[in-house]
Amino acid sequence: MPFDKLWAPWRIEYIINPKEESCFFCKYSSENNDRKRLILFRGKNAFVIMNFFPYNNGHIMITPYLHTSEFSELNSETKLEMFNLIESSTKIIREEMRADGFNIGINLGSVAGAGVKDHLHIHVVPRWNGDTNFMPVTAGTKVISEGLEETWEKLRDRFDLLKR
C-alpha cells in the first residue's frame, strides 16, 4: 500500500535556499569548518566529505582539491591518494557501521549522472544485506536511519587516525 504523504521537514532547507553557483567542493575545502561541511578527512591532494543528500547512511565522496572533471589532469600522486582513501574509507565504514559491502562509483559528465559535472569525485556508498526494504519498493523512497551529524561524529575519530 503506497503512502500518500511522507514527511521530511529537514529537506525544506535544500528546497528554499538558493543553489550554489560556485563549486561546493572547492568552497567547502577552502573553509575551516569541517563539522558544518561534513568533511571527514583532509589529505595532501584530496579529501573525504559526506554526501549531504546520501543514497544510504555513510555515503561519502572522495575528491581532489584540484577543480577538474578529468582524470588526465590529476598527477599520479593525487590518483594514488584518492584510491588509498577508498581503501581506508571502506575499512573504516565496514568496522564502524558494519557495512556488508559497498557501491563505489564515478559519474563523468551530466549524461552519466554527475550532479557535479565539473569537479571529479568518487562515491563510496555502504550497503547492508537486506537494506532494500519496502520503502523504495512501494513508495519509491529511501530511508536514511541516522542523522548526518551523528554519522560524521561516528566516523570522524577513525578518519583522524589516518593523519598519524
Give the pLDDT band (50/70/90) at residue 156: confident
Residue 163 has pLDDT above 50, yes or no: yes
Instruction: Quote the pLDDT of residue 11.
Output: 58
pLDDT of residue 55: 80
**CA gap 48, 81 in Å, rounded:** 11
Q: How far apart are CA 92 and CA 31, in angstroms?
A: 25
Supply the pTM of this predicted model.
Answer: 0.77
Using one digit for the tens of pLDDT, what is the confidence trace for 55-75? 888 999 999 999 999 999 999
pLDDT in tens, 70-114: 999 999 999 999 999 999 999 999 999 999 999 999 988 888 777
Q: How far is CA 138 from CA 3, 4, 5, 129, 131, in A?
A: 8, 11, 13, 19, 14
Q: Which residues neighbour 152 within 8 Å (Cβ) at sequence distance 6 or greater?
A: 35, 38, 40, 50
pLDDT of residue 113: 76
Distance CA 33, CA 160 (A): 15
C-alpha cell at 93: 565504514
Please give the domain boundaries of the chain with CATH numbers for all domains.
Answer: 20-163 (3.30.428.10)
